[in-house]
Chain A
Amino acid sequence: MELSVNHLLGIKYITEADIQLIFETADHFKEVINRPIKKVPSLRDITIANLFFENSTRTKLSFELAEKRLSADVINFASSNSSVSKGETLIDTVNNILSMKVDMVVLRHPNPGAGVFLSKHVKSSIVNAGDGAHEHPTQALLDCYSIREKLGDVAGKKIVIVGDILHSRVALSNIFALQKLGAQVKVCGPKTLMPRYIEKLNVEVETNLHKALEWCDVANMLRVQNERMDISYFPTTREYTQQFGVNKTLLDSLNKEIVIMHPGPINRGVEITSDVADSKQSIILEQVQNGVAIRMAVIYLLASKIKRHED
Chain B
Amino acid sequence: MLLNATEINIALNRLACQLIENHDDFSNTVLIGLQPRGVFLAERLKTLLEKEYDIKNIKLGYLDITFYRDDFRRSDKPLEANKTKIDFIVEDRRVVFIDDVLFTGRSIRSALTAIQSFGRPMEIELLTLIDRRFSRHLPIQPDYRGRQVDAINGEKVKVCWKENDGEDAVYLVRN
Contact = CB atoms under 8 A, between A and B. Distances in A.
Interface string B55-99: 000000000101111001110001111011000000000000000
Nearest to B74: A308
Contact of B81 (A25, A38, A307): A25
A1 B117 contact: no
B118 A36 contact: yes
Contacts of B4: none
Contact of A32 (B67, B73, B119): B67
Contacts, number: 49
Contacts of B69: 42
A39 interface: yes
Contact of A41 (B68, B79, B80): B68
Main secondary structure of the interface of A (DSSP, over half): loop
Query: Chain B: interface residue count, which band?
Result: 10 to 19
Contact of B72 (A2, A25, A28, A304): A304
Query: Chain A: interface residue count, which band?
Result: 20 to 34
B77 to A, nearest CB: 10
B64 A28 contact: yes
A230 interface: no
B113 interface: yes
B117 A2 contact: no
Nearest to B119: A36
Most A Cβ at <10 Å: residue of B73, B78, B80, B116: B73
A301 interface: yes
Interface string A260-291: 00000000000000000000000000000000
A35 B78 contact: no
B79 A39 contact: no
A37 interface: yes
B118 A37 contact: yes
B80 A1 contact: yes
A193 interface: no
Most B Cβ at <10 Å: residue of A24, A32, A41: A41
Given A42-B72, A303-B73, A304-B72, A37 B117 contact: yes
7 shortest interchain CB distances as A-B pairs: A40-B67, A37-B117, A28-B81, A1-B78, A42-B67, A35-B117, A42-B72
Given A2-B78, A308-B73, 20 more contacts: A1-B80, A24-B81, A25-B81, A28-B67, A31-B83, A31-B84, A32-B67, A36-B118, A37-B116, A38-B117, A39-B117, A40-B68, A40-B117, A41-B68, A42-B67, A42-B68, A42-B69, A303-B73, A304-B72, A308-B74
Interface of A: 1-2, 24-25, 28, 31-32, 35-42, 300-301, 303-304, 306-308
17 contacts: A2-B78, A24-B81, A28-B64, A28-B66, A28-B67, A28-B81, A28-B84, A31-B83, A36-B117, A40-B67, A40-B117, A41-B68, A300-B67, A301-B79, A304-B72, A307-B73, A308-B74
Interface of B: 64, 66-69, 72-74, 78-81, 83-84, 113, 116-119
